[in-house]
Amino acid sequence: MAASSRAQVLRLYRALLRESQRFSGYNYRTYAIRRIRDAFRENKNVADSAKIEELLKKAKANLEVIQRQVTIDQLYSTEKLVIESPGNT
Amino acid sequence: SGRASDGSGAPRPLYMDVQATTPLDPRVLDSMLPYLTAYYGNPHSRTHAYGWESEAAMENARRQVADLIGADSREIIFTSGATESNNMAIKGVARFYKSRKKHIITTQTEHKCVLDSCRSLETEGFRVTYLPVKKNGLIDLKELEAAFQPDTSLVSVMTVNNEIGVKQPIHDIGEICRARKVFFHTDAAQAIGKIPMDVNNMKIDLMSISGHKIYGPKGVGALYVRRRPRVRLEPLQSGGGQERGLRSGTVPTPLAVGLGAACEVAQQEMEYDHKRILQLAERLVTKIMNEVPDVVMNGDREHRYPGCINLSFAYVEGESLLMALKDVALSSGSACTSASLEPSYVLRAIGTDEDLAHSSIRFGIGRFTTEEEVDYTVQKCIQHVKRLREMSPLWEMVQDGIDLKSIKWTQH
């Protein structure tokens, strides 16, 4: 894939993960991180540029969803789960 | 920020009760919020933009629900949930065709609202056959075939059972019903979005759908009503004629949008979720059964949805185990019957011994369940089962080789 495209994908990937870390709810946080990693891994060998374009568009839209939902999750946060401890995902 | 509703500040239990309800998927909440804030129009208002945009959202949601099950949009009716859908389907079909058809077939393991709807029809003069299930929880197709009568109007069999997770042979049931020109209704609340459902492949004529079982909002569901061949229903709820006259009342746009989004997300994530949930379920069952003897899985091992696991721990009282597992949200039997002290009728129907029925716990694994949560649950479960058994005189007797069934208990 083109160098600029590759950089773009990596930027989006990092942004998605970074934003997902901000979920205060354990289950949403772990799901988002896991899902993003698995989705990017699954699509890492896609060569068709139209397909890549489409996937990037979806990723950008998902980033915006995560940004909004992280905000709400933090506004309405509650106690941690019994298995969470400081430093744990 | 919000705190625990009891103000305690204590850490929250893990949620392992997805058959009772599921959390909203953030993607679903995101789709709903605009309709809970700026776009608050009534979708049936014909004369202004508020109405038009609300209607467009509702119709889009209808299409999303239809797409998940291979139906046409016009075949989807929004309801307040699967309970209403079940009531509509069963009472509606029975009453519409009552001049010529007076018989209904269902199973003993259906959800309470199906069984109760049938009982209520019996008081109206209908006859109902409640098919028993085999020890594995599945119906016997030969018994189904034998149950048909010349005036049977409807067969109702749930796809996936909410207590034990068994999956009925829907394809075969659909074939049998179609061949006899009898309508086939299925309560698919625990199945849609989790396993592939196609109303044409499976020859389903009516299907009940629940929002809050598939990471959608509570208070909304849908009823699929086939148009070809046409299924007629007597409506339960009268009013302005919304939803093709079958279900009057303003369709709650934000809830419908949420249901639609939940269906679309489920369709995209079905394969990924199923693979993970299967893995986690096998992990849970294997770990528990390797560590603890005398554990029975209720319901067929093969024909099941993996995310619903019902285990009986012999010589341990179910309620005590649930209390001990206070850091994990679990249940024994279904939420709708937990008020009474009676063991689950589903477990009774599969022939579970009284004492084993009282020793059952249902584990629910869903889209957001982590491996960590499964491991914690397994560890606590093993720990407390062992501890409770240590305290049990029955367990001691069993260890000494005494056959409990041979004991003559005395009256005092």
Nearest to A78 among B4, B15, B370 (CB): B4
pLDDT truncated to tens, each residue of chain B (412 aa)? 455 566 678 999 999 999 999 999 999 999 999 999 999 999 999 999 999 999 999 999 999 999 999 999 999 999 999 999 999 999 999 999 999 999 999 999 999 999 999 999 999 999 999 999 999 999 999 999 999 999 999 999 999 999 999 999 999 999 999 999 999 999 999 999 999 999 999 999 999 999 999 999 999 999 999 999 999 999 999 999 999 999 999 999 999 999 999 999 999 999 999 999 999 999 999 999 999 999 999 999 999 999 999 999 999 988 899 999 999 999 986 555 555 667 789 999 999 998 898 899 999 999 999 999 999 999 999 999 999 999 988 899 989 998 888 888 777 7
Catalytic residue list contains B336:
yes
**Rounded alpha-carbon distances, angstroms, from residue B291 to B191, B280, B383, B386:** 31, 17, 10, 10
Find, among B372, B377, B193, the residue nearest to B273 by Cα.
B193
Spatial distance between the Cα atoms of B84 and B182, rounded to a whole number of angstroms: 22
Residues of A in contact with B13 (CB under 8 A): 81-82
Nearest 5°: the CA angle B5, B37, B267 is 80
Spatial distance between the Cα atoms of A28 and A61, rounded to a whole number of angstroms: 17
Mean pLDDT for A43-53 is: 92
Question: Edge-to-edge strand order for the sheet containing B152-156?
Answer: B76-79, B221-225, B206-210, B183-187, B152-156, B103-107, B127-131
Which residues share a beta bridge with B364?
B308
Identify the structural domains of chain B with CATH numbers, from first to last.
Answer: 26-266 (3.40.640.10), 270-405 (3.90.1150.10)
**CB-based contact, A46 to chain B, within 8 Å:** no
Partner-chain contact A76 B1, CB within 8 Å = yes
Partner-chain contact B2 A72, CB within 8 Å = no
Q: Which helix (H) or strand (E) holds A80?
A: none
Integer-rounded Cα Rg, in Å, for chain B is 23
CA distance A78 to chain B (A): 5
Handedness of CA B134, B88, B342, B363 (dihedral sign): positive
Burial pattern B333-366, b for ≥16 Cβ within 10 A else e, equals bbeeeeeeeebbbbbebbebeebbbbbbbbbbbb
Nearest to A83 among B1, B14, B367 (CB): B14
Complex ipTM tops 0.90:
yes
Report pLDDT for B214.
Answer: 98
